[in-house]
């Protein structure tokens, strides 16, 4: 599993940054970007995004 950001839905609001216990998300050019070296696939960010831009996908 890995975290996927739908860039069309992401507004860069930063809400997901606060939800991540591993500081694995940053905003680049007003879009959320996952640092896969830090991400532990805990899923906390998925529910934090009110726009449904974050999903956990296979792969």
Sort 26 into a burial class: Cβ within 10 Å, 0-12 / 13-18 / 19+. Answer: middle
Q: Cα separation of 42 and 14, whole Å?
A: 18
Rule CB under 6 A: say whether 44 interacts with ligand SF4: yes
2-41: contacts with ligand SF4 (CB under 6 A): 3, 5, 10-16, 19-20, 22, 24-25, 32, 34, 39-41
- Which residues are at the interface with ligand SF4 (CB under 6 A)? 3, 5, 10-16, 19-20, 22, 24-25, 32, 34, 39-45, 48-49, 51, 53-54
């Amino acid at each position: 599993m890995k975290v996927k950001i739908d860039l069309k839905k992401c507004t860069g609001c930063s809400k997901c940054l606060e939800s991540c216990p591993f500081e694995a998300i940053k905003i680049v050019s007003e879009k959320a970007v996952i640092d896969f070296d830090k991400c532990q696939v805990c899923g906390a960010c998925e529910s934090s995004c009110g726009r449904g831009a974050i999903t956990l996908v296979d792969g």
